[in-house]
A and B are shown apart, each in its own frame.
Chain A
Amino acid sequence: MKDLKNLIYFENLLQDAQNELVTRAVSEGKLALGYNCSYIPEPFLNLPGCFGSRLRAPRCTSTDIASYYMTTRVCPYVRSILERAIEGGYNYLSALFGAEACSAMERMQEHFFLINPVKNEKFFVTQIDGPMKGDNANLTYYKGQLKLKVLDALKEHYGVDTSDEAIRQAIILQNEVNAIITEIGNYRRLDNPPITGYEFHVINLVAQVCPLYLIKPYLEETLEDLRTREPDPVFPFRARVVVAGSEIDDPEFTKLIETCGGMVVADRYCFGSFPGREQIEIFPGESAFDAVCRHYLHWNQCARFMDGDKIDQRHEQMARLVKEFKADGIILESMKFCEFWSYEKVLANHIMNNELNIPCCTIEKEYALGAVGQLRTRFQAFIESLEIKAIQGGAGK
């Protein structure tokens, strides 16, 4: 396939947390609002004068200092983020909106006020207590938390306009970006897509880490590019897979799977597009704030949700993605030391394999892709098994 015009530019944007567009927005006087977890709705971070930036620690090769603070026995993603903060990599941030989504994340975010790694006098941190069920009581609590710890905090610290109209405008921008990403992602449904999983991963990531108003024109241009892009004459991969799991913010991981012959057709993980790119609807009579909270609670599929409906939703979503994106199997990933995904991975593997007859491969990985030989072997074996199943008539047939 012909190269996508903006791909190298996007790849470069992912090389640093404070990339070119982030720097430009900050220099324009915008408040950079960091977040780690999809419990924090992006529209609340894209209010007038602000932009949201999901924290990554690209090219992090050592977490020595963070490991001193948190030991080596906690999630490498959170250690990498803390390490990057201590290195001064997030000094552009005006605030960090955390969530007590998991203990490791919570503790990492606490270090942002305990040891003050961000050198910005007005920088502050709040942490919401994220709901664990999808019912009305939890929705009410979620709303209360978001109002108090995101909107009110922004208003109090920086005088940000948090009115209904401001939120509506942020929703419009978010929906526009989501629509572009969704349309781009939908090309992966085709039998011979004009986009690879790696390319989509890069595109989706830049839309999470860069200011939306600055990245949007590039995304539109990329979509236009894709509309006329000719795929290879023959589908170049040996199998199609859905990747589900925790924090995967390194497109090289997707590339690794694809170099083993499996195209990643759907990304159902933190930093992925499922969920995350759905249109936010405002129902008649509903405030913009209520709509955002309802939307994010409904679509959130974090492995920490405990009620039956949400657990079932997670597995139904995986099965739906397999069907709609014509995947041959699922790669279930968990980050080393991630308790939620360690359990969810095993349960999902059991349900998919034994109850829904969808082949799965479960893997555990570090945050930074270092020695990937073992992973490569696992992926190659899995993809080979999918091929064999396809030759034999398909697993589910």
Chain B
Amino acid sequence: MKITDKLIASIDKKLEKFDPKWQAEHGVGGLRTRYYDKTGVAKYREWRGVKDTMTDYTAWLNNLLTMGGMVAKDPVKILKGFWEYRWMGSFLGTFMFIDRLYEGYRGEELKIAHMHMHAIVQGLTKKIAFTMMNDERFGGGKESDKVIPMDEMIPPLVFAGFKGMHPFALQTLPEFIICDVDQHIEPYYIDVSESFGIAADVCSRCSAETGVALDDAFPLFGKVMMSTNMPCNASEATSMFQRRRINKPDYVVSLAMQHNEPEAHAFSREVIEGAIRFVEEHYDVKWDWDAFWAAAKEMNEQNTYELEKWDYFKTDYSPLTGIAETLYRLYEWAACAGTEPLFTKVDRKVMKRMRKAYEEKYVPFGGKTRHRAFLWGPSAVYYTDFPTWTQNCWGINIVLNMDSTMGHNMISLDDPDQAMDDLTRFAEKATMRHHAVGGWDNVNAIWEWAKNFNCDMVLMNDNIACKGMLGVHAVLEEQARDLGFHFIFIEHDLQDSRTVSRQDMRNCVNNYMTVVLGETPLDPTLVEFDDAAAY
């Protein structure tokens, strides 16, 4: 052991009483102790030991620097963005958001989590700056006419063959990722939608999208609107409002719902080819296979790593788990899909760490994991750090999330015909719809996935307004019983934290763990606390 290591170990030993995990083990506090009641405001940063605190704080500074860089790109327009869009203000909660995501993380899992998060911050700040600099509401910019506005359920790779153009998922900033950051922002848009007459029992995410449209809170640019039938009914229905409000020529990328059936692909391919022709006509641009293949090559490499990661997820030695895995995969796939080479670079670095961790039999979370769980069904966007909580409170390690299983097929890099087929299959398996819709087999796949990933538990996201998943409630529960899985329904309302609070969600797990399994929590301060006022 080096002398510096000895010194650090000595300091860590002296200061261990400030470590909330140590406190929880010794019954003198825990991870929730440092917070003001009801809020997400901490009295002080989490002490994780010298090295991990430095890792965490350096990541914090890096993210701050990146966000500063974003503002510096065009301070006036960024400021106008805060003035124009209610959702912009919520991005100020990003630091708190990141802090709560990785609470209790140490060692390799912390390093990898921050590598992932920094990539997201870099990607996202770039998008925000780009949006403000080209939004027609602020006078537009030189790239305004080169933007292809599209529904966020369409992977940007579909339009990657248009060199110099920017496929841009409209909902990402005002509706999706911001709800991850701030649980209080989407209820405003949901109220706008419900004030207009939309029923309160529709999917809150789609209701929020409708509210954003009605509130004129979507950024405006580009010459068209590419909507889609993905992933589900309410999403299809909200598109009607978005096309009217955005009021640009629109094309519906209506892929086959029953996308696992062989005859579906030819149809879906025709729809995608129609979308490409539509863009060509309206922008007077030509599809460029080389540009497409450049992005597809990135995506293939990312998917290759993803598949390798899955092999590690099946073991007890993966330092990448829970939300650190999910959020990154979601952003990398849905928001970029090969169009952002930065993510390939991050993947390469992360893979090296994961391989090393496996070789060294590194056990994450100090070996406190008691259950390996597969998270199935669409997750609550307003409680992104739920997997972190399950690990910290009950030792439930969510090894993979349903959404991470989306399009992982390789795309041909030299045969246009095969490439278009591959792209179709890739797009058909988009976020949420891959397993949540399209027939019973897709939902029923959970047991195979859970078994393959050596899980003993399935956490079933029970979006109280998701008609598709509600419709299979009892059959899934009966199957879980027959197959011997611990099975917990996690009730939530996707983007409306008022209906089912984070504590209500936690109670679903608390009740099962105490009543059914008779277990005691790893950190009693996390069992019941009020964070209703937190970001």
Contact = CB atoms under 8 A, between A and B. Distances in A.
25 contacts: A69-B471, A71-B473, A73-B201, A73-B470, A106-B468, A106-B471, A107-B471, A111-B475, A115-B475, A129-B256, A132-B236, A132-B254, A145-B263, A303-B237, A304-B233, A306-B227, A306-B229, A306-B239, A308-B250, A343-B198, A343-B210, A343-B238, A343-B241, A345-B197, A364-B199
Contacts of A364: 199
Contact of A343 (B240, B467, B468, B475): B240
Interface stretch (B45-53, B156-164, B266-274, B317-325): B266-274
Given A103-B233, A306-B229, A334-B199, A70 B468 contact: no
Which 8 A-B pairs have CB atoms at the shortest separation, nearest pair first? A107-B471, A103-B468, A343-B237, A346-B197, A141-B267, A129-B258, A342-B199, A339-B234
A104 interface: yes
A307 B199 CA distance: 23
B65 interface: no
B440 interface: yes
Contacts of B474: 68-70
A102 B227 CA distance: 18
Interface residues of B, number: 50
Given A137-B274, A306-B240, A127 B252 contact: no
Contacts of A111: 475
B224 interface: no
Contacts of A163: none
Interface size class of A (residues with CB under 8 A): 35 or more
Contacts, number: 146
B203 interface: yes
A110 interface: yes
Contact of B468 (A107, A129, A334): A107
A74 interface: yes
A301 to B, nearest CB: 14
B201 A343 contact: no
Interface in B231-283: 232-234, 236-241, 243-244, 250, 252, 254, 256-258, 261, 263-264, 267, 270-271, 274
Interface of B: 196-199, 201-203, 206, 210, 227, 229, 232-234, 236-241, 243-244, 250, 252, 254, 256-258, 261, 263-264, 267, 270-271, 274, 437-440, 464-468, 470-475
Contacts of A349: 197
A337 B437 CA distance: 17
Contacts of B257: 100, 129
A144 interface: yes
A107 B472 contact: yes
Contacts of B210: 343
A347 interface: yes
A340 B252 contact: no
Nearest to A145: B263
Interface in A101-131: 102-104, 106-108, 110-111, 114-115, 127, 129, 131
